[in-house]
Amino acid sequence: MTTSTTKIRPDLAICEHCDSVHQRLPLERGEAADCHVCGATLYRRPMLDLDAMLALTVAALIVFVVANAAPLVTMESGGNTTRGWLLSLVATTWTSGVGAVSAILIGTVFLFPLAQILLYFYVLQACRLKQQASRFVDAMHWLRRLRPWSMVQVFLIGTLVSIIKMSHLASVKPEPGLWAFGVLTILLTALGTFELRELWALHEEAANT
């Protein structure tokens, strides 16, 4: 009661949404513990193990390359064919005077998702090999900060809406790049279910053995 040194309580979990204290209990694979006060998820045990998650990051990287290399859409109008890639969207918005939109595009749909995939690979690999990775802490902080700003799924729906909008003006066709963005959305969502907090604990275990 009178001690002033900081003690760590790995047996407890505190809800980040309502500050209620819970006893941490072991979970089965795929289970989540919800806060009984506010209903937020306290912690969960992921469905997939580290090897499967690592395979997902590699798949996500490959799909990311395809999604950016292949065109998203083609438009035929008056004998001209125009193709749109993500990076050509970045370029046209830049040259047509809305640099901020260009910056949002390259950040939220290109750089942040790519960084997320690479950082996930790095931290998962560190946990799997039970190594003390020197940049683990930095990588984890960046993963947490980037998460809300990675908007591949919003881009996908925005593109679909735009295609349907234009379809009565000209013949617009979805291309492989768009499907790749669909797959990338699914892979990134699956990666997102892996709680960063579990990775902290896993890495700590690895460092202590």
Residue spans of beta strands (DSSP E) within 101-184: 171-174
Query: Binding of other proteins at residue 26 (CB under 8 A)?
Result: yes
The minimum distance between CB 47 and other proteins, in angstroms, equals 14
Retrieve residue 170's tokens: 């000209």
Cα Dmax for the chain:
82
Residue (55 or 189) nearer to other proteins, CB: 189
Based on CB atoms, which residue is closest to other proteins, 91 or 118? 91
208 makes contact with other proteins (CB under 8 A): no
The CA distance from 194 to 66, in Å, is 24
**Look-up of token digits 């806060």:** 35
Q: Which of 39, 43, 74, 37 is nearest to 177 (CA)?
A: 74
Of 22 and 45, the one with the shorter C-beta distance to Zn ion is 22
The answer to whether 143 contacts Zn ion (rule: CB under 5 A) is no
Yes or no: say if 8 and 20 are a contact pair by the CB < 8 Å rule.
no
- Quick one: which of 21, 32, 38, 52 contacts Zn ion (CB under 5 A)? 38
Min separation Cβ 78 and other proteins, Å? 6
Q: Is 42 in the site for other proteins (CB under 8 A)?
A: yes
Q: Smaller CB distance to other proteins: residue 62 or 114? A: 114
Residue 29 as a binder of other proteins (CB under 8 A): the answer is no
Cα radius of gyration rounded to whole Å, the chain: 21
153 and 185 in contact (C-beta within 8 Å)? yes
- List contacts with Zn ion (CB under 5 A): 15, 17-18, 35, 37-38, 40
